Structure 1
């Protein structure tokens, strides 16, 4: 890579890194009405909004883990150590999904019990 290409690449990366800060300059006329921005006016609503976002992230990570395990299976080509690594990745993906579902269930149950009392 010559010097010109390095400079262009550096400027492009710098531009991409700095670009999100332009959004901080936007003036929001509704600022101050709800500091959470989620529409939640109490702690329960805020927790529900946060959990909704976390559930989406969790689902995406679970899909990525299973795709990764599938790629490991396909590229193993019968090699026992690679097949074992793929099985481990799949197993840990399943364990992660089960733990995540249990965690979200516990939070939901505790939240409904607290709201009910």
Structure 2
């Protein structure tokens, strides 16, 4: 159980935080914004601004899927290369042991299947996106 001294110390710290810091956050706008809001001019204004697209100019769903698949491929292909190297290492260290050779073959096979799935997903995304764009006109 906390001692009374610790509880009082925590209450003093929390109270000083709320009474000293929170008002500074609430009254952070000391100068006016130039808008029609009275003496301080805090009524806003007609300042124009633009919101840039964080997705790099992609404005379609198929483009978004393409960007996601590109990111997955950029991350996945080096990992697949490491697994191919690992499968080669398993082949070299098997030294004729049929169980280890089988494990190395399965590692290599499933690595190639994974790479095929990456690339097929990207191709399928392009085909579906181009078909939808063609049908739209």
Q: TM-score scaled by structure 2? A: 0.54
* Structure 1 unaligned spans of 5+: 1-30
Number of the residue aligned with 2:119: 101
Alignment of 1:25-44 (within 5 A): 32-34=51-53, 36-44=54-62
Larger radius of gyration: 2
Higher helix share: 1
Residue by residue over 1:41-83, the C-alpha shift from the partner in whole angstroms, topping out at 9 and shown as x without a partner, is 3333323222221221221222122111011111112222111
Give the whole-Å Cα distance in 1 for the aligned partners of 2:113 and 2:59.
35
Q: TM-score scaled by structure 1? A: 0.61
* Structure 2 unaligned spans of 5+: 1-49
RMSD over aligned Cα, in angstroms? 2.3
Secondary structure in 2 aligned to 1:107?
helix
Number of the residue aligned with 1:75: 93
Aligned CA distance change for structure 1 residues 48 and 95 (closer, same or farther; 3 Å): closer
Secondary structure in 1 aligned to 2:78?
helix
2:124 paired with 1:116:
no
Residue by residue over 1:1-60, the C-alpha shift from the partner in whole angstroms, topping out at 9 and shown as x without a partner, is xxxxxxxxxxxxxxxxxxxxxxxxxxxxxx9422x3433233333232222212212212
